[in-house]
A and B are shown apart, each in its own frame.
Chain A
Amino acid sequence: GAGVSQTPSNKVTEKGKYVELRCDPISGHTALYWYRQSLGQGPEFLIYFQGTGAADDSGLPNDRFFAVRPEGSVSTLKIQRTERGDSAVYLCASSLMGVGANVLTFGAGSRLTVL
C-alpha cells in the first residue's frame, strides 16, 4: 500500500484481556518495527523484524508481549493479560533496507486503553 496501515486505530479493553494489534507495512519494505509511545513521551523501541525473523526484541517489556511476522509482510503485536500500564499508542514503522541509515515510515498508530 501507499503507507503503513495499522488496525485497530483505537482499542479499549479490560485488565487481564488479550489484545492483538495489526500492522501492514509498505509493500517491499523488508524491515518492520514496533514502538510504544506513552502520553507526553517519545516513542520507545519494542522489536525489529528483518523479513520473517525478529532480529532484535530487546525492547519488549516482558513475556506478556509477543510479535510475529510469519510471511515477511503483515505483523501482529500480541499482548496477553493486559495491565493498565500497557495503555499507550503502539506505533508500527517499516523501512526499505533495514541495514544502514534507515528512514522509518510510521503508521498512524493503535491507541490501546486498558481499563
Chain B
Amino acid sequence: SQQGEEDPQALSIQEGENATMNCSYKTSINNLQWYRQNSGRGLVHLILIRSNEREKHSGRLRVTLDTSKKSSSLLITASRAADTASYFCATDGGNAGGTSYGKLTFGQGTILTVHP
C-alpha cells in the first residue's frame, strides 16, 4: 500500500522556474528519500533526509522535512528541460525495533514537465 500522497500529481513549468513538490505520509519514519524516474524505468536516488533533520541541500535541490506535520517538500531551483521526470518520495520507517534496512514505502509520484 502507498504510504504517502504527493502533490501535485503533475506540474508543468518553463525552464528557469522553480519546481516545488510536496509529500505527506502517515506513520513515523527514520528517514525520507526522494527519487527520480525517467520513462517509467529505473529510479535514481536524489537526496535523503533523516528524521532529526529539518532541511537539506544538494546542488539545485532543497528538501525540507516537518515530522510534526508528517510532510516533506522537494524544491528544484532554476529548472532545466532535463529535469523532466517523475519524482517520488519514499519513507523508511524501519522495523518494529526502529532499525532501517531499506524497506521503502513510495508515494504515487509527481510528474514534472519542464518546457524549454
Contacts and interface: CB of A to CB of B under 8 A. Distances in A.
B92 A89 contact: no
B108 A45 contact: no
A4 B108 CA distance: 23
Interface size class of A (residues with CB under 8 A): 20 to 34
Interface string A45-79: 10010100001100000000000000000000000
B44 A106 contact: yes
Contacts of A99: 99-101
A91 interface: yes
Contacts of A105: 45
Contacts of B2: 41-42, 44
Contact of B42 (A41, A55, A102, A106): A106
A44 B40 contact: no
B85 interface: no
Contacts of B41: 89, 108-109
Contacts of A42: 2, 88, 90, 106-109
A50 B106 CA distance: 21
Interface of A: 4, 31, 33, 35, 37, 39-45, 48, 50, 55-56, 89, 91, 93, 95, 98-109
